[in-house]
Amino acid sequence: MSEEIVVIEGDGIGREVVPAAVEVLDAIADDSDAVGPFEYVEADAGDAVLAETGEALPRATYDLAANADATLFGAAGETAADVILPLRDAVDSFVNVRPARAYPGVDALRPETDVVFLRENTEGVYAGHEDRLSADLSTLTRVVTDSASQQLAEFACEFVEAGRGPDHRDGFTVAHKANVMRETDGRFRETVLEVADERGVAADEELMDAFATKLPLDPSQYGVVVCPNLAGDVLSDLAAGLVGGLGLLPSANVGTDNGLFEPVHGTAPDIAGEGIANPTAAILSAAMLLEHLGYTAAGGRVRTAVESVLADGPRTGDLGGSATTAEMTDAIIARL
């Protein structure tokens, strides 16, 4: 029986890098009896479909993602929030896994960076209860629960126990702002540290502002970093700046038995349509998808091939090369 992967290219370079990632999935499935076969179901989301249909995320796309084994998503333009936030909900994702690694061969401000952010994916300010209380004043209700914090912390412990964190650091760091958000981030902090303690996983903590100072000064201090939703958004994007930009960063929105995999980058309107976008982040997202489906070895093969090409293979313009998306993808497939 084949596994169903929903493929949502979205807008801009999503239409170029997602097909590249699908080619890589195909190559792996063709090459290995243990992987696949995959059935791809294409679905629409983003600015273009909004213009056509009036909906950035058609109900059909939401339902497909909700019922798939996994979804591969590219990027959406102006409608990004209208697409990605409901899609995370569709796959019941409680954690956004965001590895940020510098790769040999890629110019990075901090080549020693190797951090994995585990970002809470359902609440915080993203729970999004906003009100316009008067002509002058608006409010947003930020939500933190024990249950979501606990689920995240258990995932973090399993992640660490399974050796999925970077080698240079034991356990994990909780980043928060509990000195100001005492009740909400206090709850988050306490719950996460308690779970770690119960499970015997080493955990330390850092205020998110101090973390933002210290990460650029010495990224080697950190390995796995557990954060509330918005903190995870900002701090993982900061890490992207240290490893050479968003073009390399994959992410996994993990649910109990579903998942949505997406590059961290956007639609890059300045180069969209030219066939020169860097497919690395999308291909590494496909590697995370393979691992999520249980194909750990295949995921590792993709990652190794990507690393090999980044080290000395053809590369796209953002990495200082002149390869097209297709050339770089072919090189990765050739080294699988």
Nearer to its own copies, 119 or 315 (CB): 119
295 assigned to active site: no
209 assigned to active site: yes
C-beta neighbour count of 241 within 10 angstroms:
16
Farthest CA pair distance, the chain: 63
**Span of 27-35, 54-62, 143-151, 161-169 interacting with its own copies by CB under 8 A:** 143-151
30 assigned to active site: no
Partnered with residue 130 across adjacent β-strands are 140
C-beta neighbour count of 163 within 10 angstroms:
8
Q: Which 70-89 positions form the footprint of its own copies (CB under 8 A)?
A: 80-81, 85
The distance in angstroms from the start CA to the end CA of the chain is 24
Nearer to ligand IPM, 80 or 298 (CB): 80
Task: Using CB under 6 A, list all residues that contact ligand IPM.
Answer: 80-81, 84-85, 179-180, 209, 233
C-alpha 76: how far from its chain's center?
15
Partnered with residue 95 across adjacent β-strands are 120, 254
| Token digits of residue 305 | 């091939």
| Token digits of residue 160 | 């660490």
The one among 58, 214, 221, 335 contacting its own copies by CB under 8 A? 214
φ/ψ of residue 170, rounded to 5:
-80, 160
Nearer to ligand IPM, 41 or 238 (CB): 238
89 assigned to active site: no
Nearer to ligand IPM, 262 or 291 (CB): 262
The verdict on 135 binding its own copies (CB under 8 A) reads yes
The verdict on 121 binding its own copies (CB under 8 A) reads no
167 assigned to active site: no
Q: How many residues are given for the chain? A: 336
CB burial of 71-85 (b: ≥16 within 10 Å; e: otherwise) equals: bbbbbbbebbebbbe
The contact set with its own copies (CB under 8 A) reads 80-81, 85, 109-110, 125-126, 128, 130-132, 135-147, 177, 179-184, 186-187, 208-210, 212-217, 230, 233-235, 237-238, 240-242, 244-246
Catalytic amino acids?
A: 126, 177, 209, 233, 237
